[in-house]
Amino acid sequence: MVEAEIDDSGEIVLRRITSVVDTGIAVNPDTVKAQIEGGLIFGLTAALYGEITIDKGRVQQSNFHDYRMMRINETPKIEVVVVKSGEAPGGIGEAGVNAGPPALRNAILAATGVALRRLPIDRKLLAAGRKA
């Protein structure tokens, strides 16, 4: 679950993230949590900033000044709950990556009524949709 603030310009501020994960028997629950925390940030970075554009066969982004990452001052509180489970242990490496973007997208829908269907999030579309 993602809690976010969206202003008129389409700017997004993440407030809080809660994630519940059932990975079967958690051999090392603390590492499971760490993977989910990191995965969420990785996935949300992709949703917020991960645009790659190609011009004349060449990728235009080159470094962090034109290809951003979430930074610590954009990262909200993240709470991860590992469900007690007796199932066989499953992989947990990428689970958080995929959970973040749809949760954010749905938070945006709930907050603004704008149903985004493409990632990364287009701030202009979001701002326009919000005003419409």
Partner 1 sequence: MSGKMRILASLVMIAIVAVALGIWIIRGPGPLDFAGGTKVALADYRAGKPAGVPAKLEKASLVERGEYLAKAADCMVCHTKPGEKEYSGGLGFKLPFGTLYSTNITPDKDTGIGNYSDQDFLDAVQRGKRHDGARLYPAMPYTSYTYMTDEDVLAVKAYLFSLPAVRAKPPENTLSFPFNQRWAMMFWSAVFNPDTRFTPDTSKSPEWNRGAYLTEALAHCGECHTPRNLGFALDNRKKFAGAITAGWRAFNISSDKATGLGNWRDEDLISYLSLGHAPGHGSASGPMGEAVDHSFSQFAPEDISSIVAYLRSVPPVPSPDLPAGTAPVAPASHKDGVTADARGKKVFAGACVSCHGWSGASPVSPMATLTGTWAVNDPAAINVAQIVLSGTRRHTPDDALSMPAFGNAYTDDEIAAVANYVTARFGTKGSKLTAKDVAELREQTAE
Partner 2 sequence: MHMAQTLTINGETKSFNAPPEMPLLWVLRDILGMTGTKFGCGIAQCGACTVHVDGKAVRSCVLPVSAVENRAVTTIEAVGDTPSGAKVQKAWLDLEVIQCGYCQSGQIMAAAALLAETSHPDDSDIDAAMAGNICRCGTYVRIREAIKQAANGRQS
Q: What is the binding site for partner 1 (CB under 8 A)?
A: 9-11, 49, 60-61, 63, 65-68, 71, 73-74, 123
CA distances, 95 to each of 1, 6, 40, 66, 130 (Å): 14, 26, 8, 27, 30
Answer yes or no: are the C-beta atoms of 112 and 6 closer than 8 Å.
Answer: yes
Answer yes or no: are the C-beta atoms of 51 and 121 closer than 8 Å.
Answer: no
Binding mask 17-56 for partner 2 (x = CB under 8 A): -------------xx--x--xxxxxx--x-----------
> Which residues make Cβ contacts (< 8 Å) with residue 1, sequence separation at least 6?
17, 18, 19, 103, 107
Q: Which is nearer to partner 2, 37 or 51 (CB)?
A: 37
9 binds, among partner 1, partner 2, none (CB under 5 to 8 A by kind): partner 1
Using CB under 8 A as the criterion, which residues of the chain lie in contact with partner 2 when the complex forms?
30-31, 34, 37-42, 45, 63-65, 69-73, 75, 77-78
